[in-house]
Chain A
Amino acid sequence: MSFYDLVDRLWDDTLPTSLWAFRAELALCATIVAILLAKTCDTARRLAVWWIALGGAIAALVLAAPWTYLRGGFMAGEFFGGMLVNDGFALYMRSLVLLCVALLAVFVRLSQVVDSEDQTEFFVLVLGAALGMCVMVAANHMMMVFLGMEMASVPSYVLAGILKHRRTSSEAALKFAVFGAGTAGVMLYGISLVAGVLGSAHVPTMVARLQELVASQSGTYQAVLVLGALMMMVGLAFKLSAVPFHFWTPDVFEGAAAEVGAFLSVASKAAALGLLARLAVAFGRVEPTLLVGVIMVLAAVTCTFGNLAAYGQTNMKRLLAYSTIAHAGYLMMPVAAAVAALRQPDAARAALAGLAFYAAIYLFMNLGAFAITAFLRNALESEEIRDYAGLVRRSPGLVVCAAIILFSLVGLPPLAGFSAKFAIFAALLDAQLLGLLIVGVANTVLSLFYYLRVVRVMALEPEPTGLVASNSGLADRRVPLTSPAGWFCLAMTLPLVVLFVWWGPFPWALSAARSLVP
């Protein structure tokens, strides 16, 4: 093959196929460039940055067009020479990330956490991280796995410290960066071990080689492979904030702005889960027992720990951080179920669909919870739960929204959180992971208390008398439902009721899962 042939083939592969498959990500890149350029010219500077970000995210979402492609089992295959893969599952998860960015743009505009000068940096970082997450969910090569994770992580470290004048924010950013760098190193080492033994970093090739290796029963590299796999899990566990790599979560969430917490807890989780599910299903075909065991233990411990640790929290953001940890546990459960049930494609698909469905509902629940925290921070200048006392007298609408969101996080019907939990519990039972099901169910009861405590403080406790005396303007410290902020909370709450009655995304999730488990 001559050089020109090679160039020709590369050209043919790249231009019509790969770049089109990468269009949503390219739209994000263009948006980043647009935001940066907008700062340089006077006329464009008047255009608010969040508009560009919102427009870019929506454009990317429209280009990704999940509503067209997720009708049937969508499987476009590998692109960029096998580095990335374009299939239904990647599309579904990418759409969630993009939707989250779009909603976040509105949210940040309403909560005004960053002043207009910092907005450029903020949105560039968010879009950059989102780009990394899009790569993560489509990664088909260990190189892209690592690249995507780093592209998602590095902007997140800066985002955590975006509140420049706050010491806790800087501390959070530093802790996050150090922790992230450490786990990334371990993961890279794990990747190099596994890829070295298997002689490839292309995931399907690795799976095929592993199959041969297992079939030959030589057992030569068993220890190296297991070690490498566990080290790779470390990196993923960090992104998922799974126990025991969760230590950064509460500090970062407490230190960073609630908006950043919302982004990290939703988009970052969705991307990490997409990646975990893809790798687990791929390697689970060869070695299910070990994988199921590791993910099961991780999920059970994470979930239980998150719920137990949330009890003692007095700060709303810290509480939500532990709630995020707990939900990471719930979200890992269907991955274990999918791998355990790989022999029955129907059950495995249902499990992955449960995961995808949960992630979609979780997006609304957590964005809503963080939005309420942020708006209350603006109104009350506090993120302590006790300062929410008696809020129902001043902002009854917001408290109703908060109650719906928090009860949805518990998983009570008739709210979408129940539909999500039902889908994953059903998957667990179908995969006959009874132990994990019992852990999940017990955790649902456990989690009731701390979510309920927040609602109780808001609705049942009297308003603080000290505040009334010292501050004549208590009546103004409220978030009316008829303000833009209130509308945003309402917009996050309504889907939780609607998605319970109408399980619209579930068939999409099933169709997305079909591309991982054909």
Chain B
Amino acid sequence: MDSPVWLLSAIVFLPALGALGIGLIPGGREETVKRFTLAVTAAVFLLTAWIAVPRGTSGDTTRFDLGQAGMQLAFRIPWIRSFHVDYAMGLDGISFPLVLLTSFLSLLAMGASWNITRHVRAYCILFLLLETGMLGVFLALDFFLFYVFWEVMLLPMYFLIGIWGGPRREYAAIKFFLFTLVGSVLMLVALLMLYFTSDVGRLAGLPTQELVAAGLDPSQVEAAARTPAAEHTFNLLALAKLGQLPRSPFDEPLLWGKSVQWWAFLLLLVGFLVKVPSVPIHTWLPDAHVEAPTPISMILAGVLLKMGGYGILRICYPICPAAAYELAWLVVGLGVVSMVYGAFAAMAQKDFKRLVAYSSVSHMGYVVLGIGVWTATAGSGYVADYWKMGISGAMFQMIAHGLSSAGMFFLVGVVYDRVHHRDLDQFGGLFLRMPVYSGLAVGIFFAALGLPGLCGFIGEVLVVLSAWNYSRALAVVAASVVILTAGYILWTIQRVYLGAEYKGPHAEALTPATRREIAIVAPLLALAILFGVYPEALLGYMRPTIHATADGLARWTREVHDGRPPGAGRPARAPVQAGRSAAPSGPTDAPAAGQLSHGPGADQEVDQP
């Protein structure tokens, strides 16, 4: 018995089984159903936490190995043979922190669901199905499976917003559904395009351990290389390997002179940016966040938005590097525009929850920017340090934003439950009425603001630093967004928590926070402080994978995109030196060398004996 199969399947499908259990077992009080759901989310969290405990010397393979860059606990079982679809899952430094975040926030959000009173049973079923979908997206290593989980989240989310939401819930729910569905059918087209142009046989020349790491059987790859018909694949890692080949099958022209991967990248990018969301396809977000019930807002902001960033990092960039390189300006530009637009829009809001929603647009812009600063590597002699910084920043920002935005939405929910309005102009003086709550709230808001010592700061500073190398103007703009953020957050704190006295409606209802509420915010704030003071706690998990990804793509930039043979690193060096270091690599670089009409490669042929 293969333990990763059962462990990872349990993580993903335990919530679904729980939902089935709730559906099948009749009767039971609502309180019991809630407790049961909470227990299921807690069990899932414990399972993920078990993996997170460092492996140490025990050599337990069900733990996460901090030093390893590749996939861990990976498995691959054939599912639909006609289309080469596998049931494949695994963890690496990019997906694992997000899995942890998901299970953690699901637990907290379920805790925050205690004051849901209508149709509790249905709510719990949908909530658990949603959790299955979210975890599946981060764990799937097969594009088809990824797509399935991506879509699985749609329906529960639609109903969770549409039934338990605010006054305009149906409009918000359908808008969310429509935007995401458009994005995902574009993804479906891209998925099919990549599938039908892929050919496992093309990977035959790669070293065996690389093939094994990508979940391929070397002998099968050899066999596929010998047959004339292409053997297609949905394996995300194999697709990434294919995308980074010197002559990738995805370079085939498709339409209007653009290659398959150019179109696939564009379609995928739109699909993922809808989820991030990035301007100009962000308009579903304020509506969905405002109308959704508090725990669902937490999930939306804390987890669902991260799927966009994760998708770009896991799928768009590794599989379509050439297109990603060409369109980096688009990614980076959209990131910066989202940051600025989101911040200004947040500043203009009168509704507390809408303000938090727009702050999400702004904060997720950092993520897009951090992922996008790739082309910086070309100018610096293909050293990917800045890009690594950017990706690390983006990843860190995703986790940090997951903590802070979930916290903020919950905090808004807490006051909304009491006074039943969210009008920023009618708040004030909460510090006097709810001192503990307000203290925690200010902490969370400062974390979102990016105050040094709290988690938001690390992500932002890493992203802005990396952007400097890509474009100074953009970096300046990005850095100045921090001021805007400080502006709207400080102003919010002032309007809501400070002031002499609360003058709005339902003043009598402003009772101090309950223990349950504190128990939900406190862990978020604690983690925000922990990651702010000791970012290594998080970066340690991510670093090997991020470095491997960035180095791999930087190598691709040098060797494939710019056609410089290995070792011909810094263009500033003397060409002879570069040529000499390139020469031993011999015939494998012949196709690349053929394209060289300038630069160090020109000397290579002279140097060849």
Contacts and interface: CB of A to CB of B under 8 A. Distances in A.
Interface of A: 346, 350, 353, 396, 407, 412-414, 418, 422-423, 425-426, 429-430, 434, 437-438, 441-442, 444-445, 448-449, 452, 456, 459-460, 503, 506-507, 510
B177 interface: yes
Contacts of A422: 83, 188
Contact of A414 (B152, B163, B174): B152
Interface stretch (B65-73, B189-197, B483-491): B189-197
Nearest to A354: B82
Nearest to B229: A346
Interface string B35-53: 0000000000000000000
B284 to A, nearest CB: 14
B148 interface: yes
B151 A426 contact: no
B188 A441 contact: yes
9 contacts: A418-B148, A426-B195, A429-B192, A429-B196, A437-B192, A445-B185, A456-B162, A460-B162, A503-B80
B247 to A, nearest CB: 21
Given A414-B148, A503-B80, A445 B178 contact: yes
B143 to A, nearest CB: 12
Interface of B: 80, 82-83, 122, 147-148, 151-152, 154-155, 158-159, 162-163, 170, 174, 177-178, 181-182, 185-186, 188-189, 192-193, 195-196, 229, 255
Nearest to B150: A413
B267 to A, nearest CB: 10
A507 B151 CA distance: 25
Given A413-B148, A441-B185, 16 more contacts: A350-B82, A425-B189, A425-B192, A426-B195, A426-B196, A434-B255, A437-B192, A441-B186, A445-B182, A445-B185, A448-B178, A452-B158, A452-B174, A460-B170, A506-B82, A507-B82
B196 A452 contact: no
Contacts of B158: 452
Given A414-B152, A445-B181, A459-B163, A510 B192 contact: no
B155 A412 contact: yes
A426 B255 CA distance: 18
Nearest to A426: B192
Given A407-B155, A441-B189, A426 B83 contact: yes
A412 B151 contact: yes
Most buried by B among A407, A413, A429, A510: A413
Contacts of B170: 456, 460
Contact of B185 (A429, A444, A506): A444
B409 to A, nearest CB: 23
Contacts of A353: 82
B196 A459 contact: no
B82 A437 contact: no
Contacts of B80: 503, 506
Given A426-B196, A437-B189, A441-B188, A412 B154 contact: yes
A429 B83 CA distance: 13
A353 B122 CA distance: 38
A474 B411 CA distance: 42
Interface majority SS (helix, strand, loop, mixed), chain B:
helix
Task: Please name the 5 residue pairs, one residue from A and one from B, whose CB atoms are nearest each other, closest first.
Answer: A413-B148, A429-B192, A413-B151, A441-B185, A503-B80
Contacts of B82: 350, 353, 503, 506-507, 510
A460 B163 contact: yes
Contacts of B185: 441-442, 444-445
A155 B151 CA distance: 42
B155 A430 contact: no
Nearest to B83: A426
Most buried by B among A423, A429, A442: A429
B189 A418 contact: no
Most buried by B among A346, A444, A448, A459: A448
A342 B125 CA distance: 47
A429 B193 contact: yes
Contacts of A449: 174
Contacts of A350: 82
A442 B186 CA distance: 9
Most buried by A among B80, B154, B159: B80
A445 B189 CA distance: 13
A445 B186 CA distance: 10
Nearest to B189: A441
A423 B151 CA distance: 17
A109 to B, nearest CB: 28
B24 to A, nearest CB: 11
A442 B189 CA distance: 11
Most buried by B among A414, A423, A430, A507: A414
A277 B255 CA distance: 29
Nearest to B151: A413
Most buried by B among A346, A422, A449: A422
A425 B185 CA distance: 11
Contacts of B193: 429
B189 A438 contact: yes
B410 to A, nearest CB: 25
Most buried by A among B163, B174, B177, B185: B185
Most buried by B among A350, A425, A438, A442: A425
Contacts of B196: 426, 429-430
A437 to B, nearest CB: 7
A350 B195 CA distance: 14
Contacts of B83: 422-423, 426
A343 B453 CA distance: 65
Most buried by A among B151, B155, B255: B155
Nearest to B159: A459
Nearest to A400: B23
B271 to A, nearest CB: 12
B181 A448 contact: yes
A253 to B, nearest CB: 26
B411 to A, nearest CB: 28
A5 to B, nearest CB: 49
A506 B152 CA distance: 22
A441 B229 CA distance: 27
Contacts of B255: 434
Contacts of A413: 147-148, 151-152
A434 to B, nearest CB: 7
A452 B189 contact: no
A459 B255 CA distance: 44
Contacts of B163: 459-460
Contacts of A434: 255
A407 B159 CA distance: 13
Contact of B177 (A396, A444, A448): A448
A445 B177 CA distance: 10
A187 to B, nearest CB: 35
A330 to B, nearest CB: 14
A418 B151 CA distance: 10
Most buried by A among B152, B154, B188: B188
Contacts of A396: 122
Most buried by B among A346, A412, A423, A507: A412
A473 B154 CA distance: 36
B177 A452 contact: yes
Contacts of B122: 396
Most buried by A among B148, B229, B255: B148
Contacts of A414: 148, 151-152
Contacts of A426: 83, 192, 195-196
A426 B194 CA distance: 11
B128 to A, nearest CB: 14
A506 B188 CA distance: 20
